Amino acid sequence: MDRPANINDQVAHLLRGASTSSHAASSEVDLLDMPLEGVAAFWLSIKKTLDSRKKNDGFLTEELRHTREPHLRFLLELAASSFSPGRCEELATVRKNNVLAELHRKYVLMAIGLLGIVSKENPQKVMIRFLSKFQMAPIFEKQVFDVAQVMLKNLDNAELDKAKFLNIDHKLRIEALIINLVFYCMLARRNGTETLLGFQEYIVSQYFKDGLQLICDGFDYDFVKFRLNLVKKEILSATEMKMDLSMQMMSAIKSDVPFPDLCLIAKAFLP
């Protein structure tokens, strides 16, 4: 099969060969970026609107069409379902655990990549560390390096869509995240870590950008590792708090508790 002439098509072609997953991060709003107060306000607004309208008028179904955040959408689906409040809480907990496990794995992969950069480790060894976090490899090593090398060779190609292909973000598919992390490890090994700062505009993850900054500021391996673990723990804890708040407020709405009682639930979670 002929290789696409356009560099973006060429990279996309290689990515399709590496995985059926989309390479681009979702443009949806993300719970990680929402403040706790904003999450509480969302559910209070839902309850206030429900109280002001006739029951069973389809408001929750209507709201689903306008809610872009995936976890909040799922909880709205539960609120509109025929399940009991208790069953909704059980399903919300299953979903929460799955989301947090996936987030944890992605932040671990980012940390492995950053620690590989600070220690100037061979990217192939970094790749082995990535794959050690999976029972079955999500992608073949050859496919990862094929795509990463094409990206590396075309850095000066004005046609390369850097915002699409050089991103690091927890919303990326696992396969795409691994490819891009290997790319940055290869780039750091070839051109030096300081050159990575010039690519921050293409990186969405503040976690990864902060880690790069620490490395370029000269902090050693142990400090970078300590800081990455601390920040990861705080991100996951804050996300879990927002998920628990959402679950409790969704369940209360499902149980048709009065608005002042819903405010008490929010008050318990807010600082």
Question: Is there a contact between 14 and 150 (Cβ–Cβ < 8 Å)?
Answer: yes
Question: Is there a contact between 76 and 63 (Cβ–Cβ < 8 Å)?
Answer: yes
Closest CA to 171 of 129, 110, 215: 110
20 within a domain of the structure (yes/no): no
Total number of domains in the chain? 1
199 within a domain of the structure (yes/no): yes
Rounded to whole angstroms, the Cα distance separating 199 from 219 reads 20
26 within a domain of the structure (yes/no): no
213 within a domain of the structure (yes/no): yes
- Render each residue's pLDDT in the chain as its tens digit; 271 residues: 445 556 666 556 555 554 434 444 445 678 999 999 999 999 999 999 998 876 656 888 888 888 999 999 999 999 999 999 999 999 999 999 999 999 999 999 999 999 999 999 999 999 999 999 999 999 999 999 999 999 999 988 888 888 888 999 999 999 999 999 999 999 999 999 999 999 999 999 999 999 999 999 999 999 999 999 999 999 999 999 999 999 999 999 999 999 999 999 999 999 8
What is the model's pLDDT at position 61?
86
118 within a domain of the structure (yes/no): yes
257 within a domain of the structure (yes/no): yes
Dihedral of the alpha carbons of 46, 236, 214, 168, in degrees to the nearest 10: -70
| Boundaries of domain holding 239 | 7-15+35-269
What is the model's pLDDT at position 85?
97
Closest CA to 4 of 23, 22, 17, 20: 17
Question: Is there a contact between 269 and 40 (Cβ–Cβ < 8 Å)?
Answer: yes
2 within a domain of the structure (yes/no): no
